[in-house]
Every structure is written in C-alpha cells, then in structure tokens.
Chain A
Amino acid sequence: AQSVTQPDIHITVSEGASLELRCNYSYGATPYLFWYVQSPGQGLQLLLKYFSGDTLVQGIKGFEAEFKRSQSSFNLRKPSVHWSDAAEYFCAVGVPTGGGNKLTFGTGTQLKVEL
C-alpha cells in the first residue's frame, strides 16, 4: 500500500527566507504526486502536481517541487516566503482508479512565517 511521510510537523521561517518542505513516499509504481495547501478553516487547494516528464514542476504562488525517484522524495520549495504563505501543507500520492486518483495524504507540515 502507498504511504506518505512528512517528517516536519512544524516549520518556522522568516519572511523573505527560502523554504523547503520535505515529503517522502512509498509506492510500488510510478507515483502521481501532489502538494496541497490548507489555510485555517478552509479546504485544500492544489499547489502543484507531478505525473511524468520534467522532474521539476512549477506550481501556483511561486512554489516548485522536485521529484527524485532515487530518494522517493517530492520536496516543496519556495525561494522567498511571504507572510500569506502561513498555512498547513500536505503532500499526497495518487493511485489511479476508475474514477480519478485515490489520494493518500501525509500528516501535514504547519508553516509559520515570522515577520
């Protein structure tokens, strides 16, 4: 069965600093990988996804992620964090089904941004 590990429960960065959120996955085939962001009291919004091809994927809000098969990782990065990026971030692996992708989520990383 597939699984996702996000080793950092909380991360605090200063506004303007760079950010990297870690994600490791376990899946027997080529994974479909996603990063979602959840603001307080809100649903989940897709930041970016990887299905195939270029291992560096660009997303919304200036985020990017790099798929590294050898490390089973899909880390999320942003060169300069803004205070509005404070939220919870979820990595997910998708298993194709007859009705789209069945997602398994990591436990999330809570990002705090210091001004």
Chain B
Amino acid sequence: DAGVIQSPRHEVTEMGQEVTLRCKPISGHNSLFWYRQTMMRGLELLIYFNNNVPIDDSGMPEDRFSAKMPNASFSTLKIQPSEPRDSAVYFCASIITSGNEQFFGPGTRLTVL
C-alpha cells in the first residue's frame, strides 16, 4: 500500500510562473481533497472531488487556482500565475466514500519568490 502520493515534495518558483502540483490517491478511493496549510490560516480545504467530479470548490482562493481530476488515479492543482502569498504546504487526501478516514499525502511545500 503506497498511500497517497504527491509530487513534487518541494517546489521553488518565481512569482508569475505556473505551478502544477500532482496527487495520486490510494487505489479504490473515490473521493479526493486538496488542502492548503499556512501559519496564518492553518489547514484549509480548497476543493474536493467525488468520482472524479468536483463537488465543492468554495475554498479555492481565486481564479488563479484550478484543479482537475481526469481519472480516478490522478489529480492536479494548478496555480497560474503564482504569487508569493501562495507559499504554503499543499496536501492531498483521499477517502473511500463508505469510509470515514481521510488518508493524507506527505504534502508539497511550495515557495514562491
């Protein structure tokens, strides 16, 4: 069991660049969540998918953020253009709909200079 896989683990980019974060959920899990963790705001839910369909994106901070889940085994979170205030740790989590525990990936630490 590989768990939730996120890549890259660390990303350093310059303001204005496009950033793409990737997540592979646990096989068989059909819901996927993207979170952002910052010192100021703690852990925030950005968006979640069920059966590859976005259900609630009310936590996405602005139009610069977008997320996709083209299939059951892959999701991306894209920031374009990136800004220094986007610097944070981004977590992906997955869950089986009939279950109640979200399994978290190790996170991607994003630094926007």
Measuring CB to CB, which residues of chain A are less than 8 angstroms from any residue of chain B? Answer: 32, 36, 41-46, 49, 51, 90, 94, 97-108
Contact = CB atoms under 8 A, between A and B. Distances in A.
Given A98-B50, A100-B31, A43 B4 contact: yes
Contacts of A44: 91, 93, 104
B56 interface: yes
Chain B interface residue number, banded: 20 to 34
Interface of B: 4, 30-31, 33, 42-43, 45, 48-51, 55-56, 91, 93, 95-97, 99-102, 104-107
Contacts, number: 63
Contact of A98 (B55, B93, B104, B106): B55
B55 A101 contact: no
Contact of B50 (A51, A99, A103, A105): A99
Contact of B107 (A32, A43, A90, A105): A43
A32 B95 CA distance: 15
B16 to A, nearest CB: 28
Given A101-B95, A105-B43, A108-B42, A46 B30 contact: no
B13 to A, nearest CB: 20
B45 A45 contact: no
Given A43-B4, A105-B43, A106-B42, A100 B55 contact: no
Interface of A is mostly: strand
Given A43-B4, A90-B43, A97-B56, A103 B102 contact: yes
Nearest to A45: B104
Task: State the 6 A-B residue pairs at the shortest beta-carbon distance, nearest first.
Answer: A99-B50, A99-B31, A43-B104, A100-B95, A105-B43, A44-B104
B52 to A, nearest CB: 11
Nearest to A106: B42
Contacts of B56: 97, 102
A46 B101 CA distance: 7
Given A43-B4, A45-B104, A102-B33, 9 more contacts: A44-B93, A49-B101, A94-B100, A97-B55, A98-B50, A103-B102, A104-B45, A105-B42, A106-B42
